[in-house]
Structure 1
Amino acid sequence: MTNTNPALHVVATNTSSQLSQKDRLIGQPRFHFEPHDVMQLLRARIIGQDKALSEIEKMLYVVKADFSSSERPLSVTLMLGPTGVGKTETVRLISEAIYGHADAFCRVDMNTLSQEHYAAAITGAPPGYVGSKEGHSLFDETAITGSHTRPGIILFDEIEKASNEVIRGLMNILDTGRLTLTSGTKTIDFRNCMIFMTSNIGAQAAQQYLDKLNLLPKTLQQACLKRVPTQTIIEKIMFRKFDPEFINRIDRTLHYQPVQENALPQLVNIEIEKLNKRLTHQKRHIILTDAAKAYFYQEHDIRFGARHLARKIRTELEPLLAIHFLNHPEQLQIVLDEKNGQLSIKEKSSTSTSS
């Protein structure tokens, strides 16, 4: 006998529809960011670090595919290298690509945690101490937790400057993706989070090694570097500083290279592009001649990396622009040149705001 009950037919249809919808979702990644888009931004702004960025790309694809262990953070990445080579900027750009703004991550400056008693800033105050019941720590839980469609991001910056007690306090986070505060009242979940750490450890020793090699003939320099690369020196110092148990919990250790002279013109262009972006809301735009750009990178000490270039633009170019714009508010575009070792306004274009 055929069942003609319309209610049962509706239930069957709805169930079938729900099943087919679930089938369509099978195999679809829950994270909505595109690794290709993230890498486009990184490769446009982080210059001369192709090897490190290739490892970042692999990590992003694994996170996107979403089959990582549910009992660990999504990834744990340590970035080594001298100052001003783009380690912290890498994390800022990943945040910008995924969240739309560069500060959507939890940043912990480890140089502020250099004393052993600062371990309480990570794990919270122990029972019996002031603040133990509140379960406070310095973590931004919203940035760490992320959401179902976007991973959380945390950066432990300059990790070698933290005390050994603080670093030991991190080991459980790297291993299990959880941190239970010492009060026992609260657990912070890092399992939906990409963890990044930066360190300058060994960079000074590596630079001193390169300085000594520069006194040798080129062929001998290359032979020495082949036998003992700078990476080996950095890793030896890293193993002296960090316990094997800590290092063993890191998925990827990336070596950022010192900024090379051929990268300096690109880095100046990037800084000028950032400045023009900040001037957009005033409908202003600046152009630098090749001589003006060269002013910022000629005789530049590559040991100080891109950060020194940015500082020189802030302290020498921006005051010149500020005075000019305040004295000539009608001018929207100016061209800067360099003459006799000085920056100067070459030409002014006093178009109206409608142009």
Structure 2
Amino acid sequence: MQLMHRACALVRIPLYTSDGPGDAPSDGLLDDEDVTLAASLMTGIPASKLGADERSRYASMVEHMHQRIIGQEEAVLAVSRAVKTARVGLKDPNRPIGSFLFLGPTGVGKTELAKALGEFMFGSEDQMVTLDMSEYQQEHAVSRLVGAPPGYVGYEGGGQLTEQVRARPYTVVLFDEVEKAHPRVLDVLLQIMEEGRLTDGQGRVVSFAETVIIMTSNLGAEYLETVEMTDTVRELVMGRVKQFF
């Protein structure tokens, strides 16, 4: 309903180019382009990413990602498959579009893959909220994510996570080095993945249904430095992950 109201408002407002008042205004008729423009203004996603060719664009997602990501074929394929599955409606509408854990040593392209995903899905690699989990090692860091409760210092400022997602609901959320976060912070991440929402310090519900959640970690990195990814290596890495989480 908000989208249609915005589109109708655009049609009602006579739009002129900068050349002067001699140019023709809007014809007053609502069409697909008006709705696409309204959606672009509301989400921050370029109109070109919201057009009728969306299905064909996602069909070539793997090829597009590989233009930027060299190697990492398995990771690109897995992420693309999950995102495309969500985009055709085969996901819980309340949960994030996808939730991923990227494992590997520093420099293998975990963050770059997250940026490429943001660029492909939302039109810009800047459509990403990045949180360094090494800064959230204390229990009280939870309030930094969602905002302090009423009466506490920083209450009016809002949460570092919730405020950014409220402002840009269509975005990639990157939790860097997630293994360094306090267990209470990990509980918040689990709530996002399971319920797709958080309640901030001011009692406002923030939806994560249109976000992509990415966590990066160096857990098991010593095993991933091998040239060949064998079943044994996978088991060793997942063993380290299960020990931690």
Normalising to structure 1: TM-score of the pair? 0.49
Matched, 1:175 2:194: yes
Matched, 1:235 2:238: yes
Matched, 1:137 2:140: no
* SS at 2:81 equivalent: helix
Please give the per-residue CA displacement for 1:161-183, whole angstroms capped at 9, x wherever unaligned: 111121112221111101012x3
Match of 2:238, as an amino acid?
A: E
* SS at 2:67 equivalent: helix
* SS at 1:66 equivalent: coil
* Higher-Rg member (1/2): 1
Measured in 2, the distance between the counterparts of 1:38 and 1:90 equals 13
Matched, 1:196 2:196: no
Measured in 2, the distance between the counterparts of 1:143 and 1:62 equals 26
CA, structure 1 residues 143+194, in 2 after alignment: closer, same or farther (shift >3 Å)? farther
Alignment of 1:329-348 (within 5 A): none
CA, structure 1 residues 176+164, in 2 after alignment: closer, same or farther (shift >3 Å)? same
Residue aligning to 1:61: 84
CA, structure 1 residues 143+36, in 2 after alignment: closer, same or farther (shift >3 Å)? farther
* SS at 2:137 equivalent: coil
RMSD of aligned Cα (Å): 2.7
The answer (yes or no) to whether the contact 1:105–1:143 under 8 Å persists in 2 is no
Measured in 2, the distance between the counterparts of 1:31 and 1:175 equals 27
Shift of 1:184: 4.7
Shift of 1:238: 0.9
Please give the per-residue CA displacement for 1:305-337, whole angstroms capped at 9, x wherever unaligned: xxxxxxxxxxxxxxxxxxxxxxxxxxxxxxxxx
Match of 1:136, as an amino acid?
A: G
Measured in 2, the distance between the counterparts of 1:86 and 1:71 equals 29
Shift of 1:42: 1.7
From 157, 161, 181, the counterpart of 2:176: 157
Measured in 1, the distance between the counterparts of 2:140 and 2:146 equals 11
Residue aligning to 1:26: none
Measured in 1, the distance between the counterparts of 2:79 and 2:108 equals 15
User: What are structure 1's unaligned runs of at least 5 residues?
Assistant: 1-20, 22-29, 147-151, 215-221, 243-355
* SS at 1:229 equivalent: helix
Please give the per-residue CA displacement for 1:54-107, whole angstroms capped at 9, x wherever unaligned: 111211211321342122112111111111111110111122223332211111
Residue aligning to 1:109: 132
Please give the per-residue CA displacement for 1:280-315, whole angstroms capped at 9, x wherever unaligned: xxxxxxxxxxxxxxxxxxxxxxxxxxxxxxxxxxxx
CA, structure 1 residues 143+93, in 2 after alignment: closer, same or farther (shift >3 Å)? farther
Measured in 1, the distance between the counterparts of 2:75 and 2:106 equals 15
Match of 2:187, as an amino acid?
A: R
Measured in 1, the distance between the counterparts of 2:50 and 2:85 equals 11
Residue aligning to 2:29: none
Shift of 1:135: 6.1
